[in-house]
Amino acid sequence: MAMLTIGDLSRKTGVKIPTIRYYEQMGLMDPAERSEGNQRRYTSQERERLSFIRHGRELGLTIESIRELIKLSAHPERPCEQADRIAAEQLQGVREKIEKLRRLEKELERIATGCGGDQIKDCYVIRALARHEMCESEH
């Protein structure tokens, strides 16, 4: 079985070396085997685990959620309701962020297009940022 150095693992997964070490410290990955020269060595299974973690992080999952999903993946015969719950909670969080971003977009568009002044002393953007009550909605 071909073993990967931490640099190889980083290049193949797109995960930076300090992040790989962090995931080991957090217990998401088992500590790497060491070569006679004390270099970390990784297997293809550890590469797959790191890709799994990276994908989870790209989807915005917390370290704790990823840890739970890793534990669940070790028991393929179990029902998947816990994994479904984690995904559903993440989806709800993303939807809430999207809604907040829509409110921010609307307010920023209103502020950015509401300025008719030529000088800062007349600038609506500056006044709106200084006085929150000028905003149309809570954002």
pLDDT at 39: 84
Q: Which CATH architecture has domain 6-73?
A: Orthogonal Bundle (1.10)
Q: Name the token pair of 17.
A: 């070396």
User: Domain extents for the chain?
Assistant: 6-73, 81-134
List the one residue out of 45, 48, 34 whose CA is nearest residue 6: 34
pLDDT at 25: 93
The answer to whether 74 and 83 have CB atoms below 8 angstroms apart is no
pLDDT at 8: 93
Contacts of 16 (CB under 8 A, 6+ apart): 10
Integer Cα distance of 89 and 80 in angstroms = 14
pLDDT at 124: 75
To the nearest 10°, the Cα dihedral for 15, 21, 24, 26? Answer: -90
pLDDT at 21: 94
pLDDT at 139: 66
Integer Cα distance of 36 and 76 in angstroms = 35
pLDDT tens string, the chain, 139 residues long: the values are: 678 999 999 999 999 999 999 999 999 998 888 888 888 899 999 999 999 999 999 999 999 999 999 999 999 999 999 999 999 999 999 999 999 999 989 888 888 777 666 776 677 777 777 777 666 666 6
Contacts of 120 (CB under 8 A, 6+ apart): 126
The answer to whether 29 and 46 have CB atoms below 8 angstroms apart is yes
